[in-house]
Each structure stands twice: as C-alpha cells, then as structure tokens.
Amino acid sequence: MTPSTTGAAPPENPAPGEAASPQPTRSVGDLVRAAVSGWLGTALEFMDFQLYSLAAALVFSQLFFAADDPGMAVIGAMATYGVGYVARPVGAWYFGRMGDRIGRKKVLFYTIVLMGLATTLIGVLPTYETVGLLAPALLVLLRLLQGFGAGAEISGAGVMLAEYAPVKRRGLVASLVALGTNCGTLFASAIWAVLLVVVTEQQLLDWAWRIPFIASAAVMVFAVWVRLNLKESPVFEARDDVVDGEAVDAAQVQEGEAPAEAAEFRSARPLTVKSVAVAFLLRFGQAGNSGMIQTYLISFMTVFLLLDKQLSTEVVIISSIVAFATVPGIGLLGDRFGRKRMYTIMSAIGIVVVIPCMLLIVSGVTWQVIVGYVVLHNIGVMSLASMENLTLPEIFGARNRYQATGVVREIAAIVATGATPVIAAAIVAATGSWIPVAVIIMFFSGCALFAAVWMKEVAGRDLTDPNPAM
C-alpha cells in the first residue's frame, strides 16, 4: 500500500483498490483498557526514569559513589543512569521479536513485571558507605534489568494503541502514551518535592530516598491487573500469518503447513534503509533532547548554577502540568495536518527557542528559570514524544512492527540519551560554560527536523500492510 504523501489530514478509508484486511472488532471499553494499559506502563517506565534522574542529581552521587570528588561523583551517577540504556536495545529485540510472534498483550505483561520489580528493588539497595563498591555494582545490575524490560515497554504500548485506535484519531489516542511519560515524570517529581520539604537533608540521605522507589510497586500491581484483562491487538489478529493467536514460522511455510496467504504475507520486505533512517533520526532527536533537558539540565541547575534543589523539582512539576495540554494538543494537530508537517514545525521551533530559554535559565531568577525550562521541555521533548509513539509504528509494516519500532527507538536512545548527559557533564565541567548545553540541544532538534523534511506522510495508512511506509 502506498501511504499518503500530503500534509493534510489523511482519508478515513484506504485508497481505491487498496482494501484493508478485515480486523476483529473492538468495543469502546476495549479501547479504554488498551489506553489505560499503555498509559500505566509508560507512566511506570518514566516514573523510574525521573526517579533516577532526580535521585542522581540530588542524592545518588553521595549514596553510591565516593564523596571525595563531588564532580566525579555526579559523572558517576550520570554514567550509571546511562548504563540502563545498554540493555534496552537487547530487550527491544528480544521482546519485540516475541511480540510480533505471539502477540502484543503477552509481551506487555512480561515487560511491566520485569521493569516494575527492578525499580522497586532499587529502594532496598545498600549504599557505598555500607558495602563499598558492591553498592554501585548492584545499582548497575538493577538498571540493566530495568532497561531490558523497558526496552520493549513504550514501543509496545505505542504499537498497541496505534493498532487499536480509529484511523482519524490515532494521534490523539496514541498521545496517551506520551501522557504516561508525563504522569510518571510528574508523580516522581511530586514525591521528591514532598520529601525535600518534610524531611531534613540527613534524613533524605539516611532513609527517605528509598520511599519513591518502593512506592512504585503500587503502580506496577495496578498495571499488571489491567493487562491481565486486555484483549489482543486487532491488527495482530488480522495478520494473514497469524493462526490460533500466533504467527506461523518459516519452517511451517516451507513445509506447506501454513495458509497460502501466510506465505505471501511473510514475503513482504520487512525494512528499507529509508524507513529505518527516518525512524532513527526522529527518535534520536527526541531522545537526545529528553536526556539533556529532563536529566542533565536538572543536575546542571543544582550543581553548576547552584540553584536550590527545591526549584529543580518544582520546574519539572510545573512543566509536566503544562504538558497535559501540549501532548494531546499536538496529537490532535497531527491528526488534522499530518505527522510530517507537525514534526517539521515543532522541530524548527525547538531550534529557535534554545538560546532564549538557556539565557532565562542561567539568569538564576526563579520565574525566568521556570519559563525557560517549561518552554524547552514542552517544545523539545513532549511535543515530539506526542507524535513519536504513533509515527514510528506507522512507518513500519505489520510483519515486524513491534521489533522494528523497539529496536530503532532503543538504539537511537542508547546513542543519544544514554551517552549525552555524561558527555555534557564532562564538557561543562571542563569549560564552565552553558553554551555547550545549548549547542547539543539544537543539534538534536536539527536531527528531527532533517528527518521530518525527508520523510513521507504516514498518517492514516493501513496498518495491516506488511510493508514499510517508505
């Protein structure tokens, strides 16, 4: 099937002569459960993301690393944060491949349990003062387990919602995944904000830092319950190579044990260079901005600018509240004007606002810091995330959508988000300037802009098509 290439809203039905494959019907209740499932899983993933981001900025450098060199301790805390991204591409490949074979529902159950348990166990780890180097070693191990599960979590949630949603509302429905990231970020930030108010700094270091990680278990339990009552993706069940709920394998096709249409479905080209490159650059731009703005910038404000720790958590909370309007708004605009046009507009704006926003942040004036961070975060991170969770599944074909989406997402993330905060911390420590921070953020927005100009429009395409969109 040839996707629409215009920037206008896509037609509700496939083009003449390109009838979509019949899909099992799903009720509004099924769609709601799928949306809640995706939202909860993504909320848990990003609650972990923000819990660690804030902990790394506020306490982990003192708890898990030697205290004689504060600058190196911060770099060590950021490096441990980055380690979590090493396992994510492996998890994306392993669970994504499984999800394309046995369905999205089962795999999303496995990922939520693994990710949730690892996050909770961080809250019971011993510290460097107690066990020495074993403390950061155990932290690294749990970060690896988190990454292994998380590698296929948000990509699976995006695929599931894209395949559930009505064609003219895919952008709005799939934006709930990005809202999950926002809710997780907000919840984690709120917990840290309360802790910073109600406990002393010594109490925070002694025991209170454990509370957010242990409390995350409640979200995991609720998410598991929701996913146990979730129906499989209708697009997966409609695939020509799916028999009795599982995809046939190559051996069954060769031995003639599979339906004839299954062989034709599996003969589709799974990937193209352009589909992979465009998806990679879209993700690379958003992930790099996320690592710089949501992770490193918090440490930059507390360690380099010496701003109050309470202000660092407050700006994240305020920006997350603003994003409750940004995310669905961009999703709706993507449904109205197409993914290509909205990606182009938001990436270009993201480049333009970097210098003014950084000037506001380095001023140290409270309201200016808040405005600068909120604009940077909502334009450079949340608006792109709103479209990304749908656009990547739309780019790839039905045959390997879960695996391709997950692997591309996570390889881009390990390069951009995993490494960049460490590099930024080292450059700023060496130069004593905020300019490298601005240059790095502009670079990532530029990558997304290049991909947006290069890509074809993918909104509204038939998701049962086994071929990639470009």
Mutual angle of helices 401-413 and 273-290, in 10-degree steps:
50
pLDDT score, position 16: 35
By the 8 A CB rule, do 409 and 357 touch? Answer: no
Of residues 189, 426, 398, the one with CA closest to residue 304: 426
Q: Which of the pair, 61 or 117, is modelled with greater confidence?
A: 117
Mean pLDDT of the chain: 84
Q: Could you tell me the pLDDT band of residue 7, with boundaries at 50, 70 and 90?
A: very low
pLDDT score, position 96: 94
Q: Which of the pair, 266 or 156, is modelled with greater confidence?
A: 156
Structural domains in the chain plus CATH codes? 28-235+267-454 (1.20.1250.20)
Name the region of 8 (left: φ>0; alpha: ψ -120 to 50; beta: rest).
beta
User: CA neighbours within 13 Å on the CB side: how many for 131?
Assistant: 10
Q: Which residues contact 113 (CB under 8 A, 6 or more apart)?
A: 149, 220, 224
What are the pLDDT digits (tens) for 46-91?
787 778 777 876 777 778 776 656 666 666 666 776 677 788 899 9
